[in-house]
């Protein structure tokens, strides 16, 4: 867990507010919590999208979630 990542309590509150995926098919490869931590890292530091550390997932997937 990184310095600015969500704690378990914070994630428990936030996960209740997020919509559930209703599509059938493959399960997601990247956990939503990990991607949201990547969004928070990018917004907090101001780095370009392509410079987000790999531990948060691929930058284009994080950006896609951010846009939605």
Strand intervals (E) in 1-68: none
d(C-alpha 16, C-alpha 24), whole Å = 21
Where do the structural domains in the chain lie, given as residue ranges? 29-68
The model's pTM is 0.84
Kindly report, residue by residue over 28-43, the tens digit of the pLDDT. Answer: 888 999 999 999 999 9
d(C-alpha 9, C-alpha 67), whole Å = 25
**Any idea how long the chain is?**
68
Using the predicted structure, report yes or no on whether residue 1 has a pLDDT greater than 70.
no
């Amino acid at each position: 867990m990184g310095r600015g990542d969500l704690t378990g309590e914070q994630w428990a509150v936030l996960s209740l507010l997020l919509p559930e995926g209703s599509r059938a098919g493959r399960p997601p490869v990247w956990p939503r919590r990990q991607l949201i931590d990547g969004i928070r890292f990018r917004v907090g530091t101001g780095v370009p999208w392509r410079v987000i550390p790999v531990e948060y997932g691929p930058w284009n997937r994080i950006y896609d979630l951010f846009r939605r």
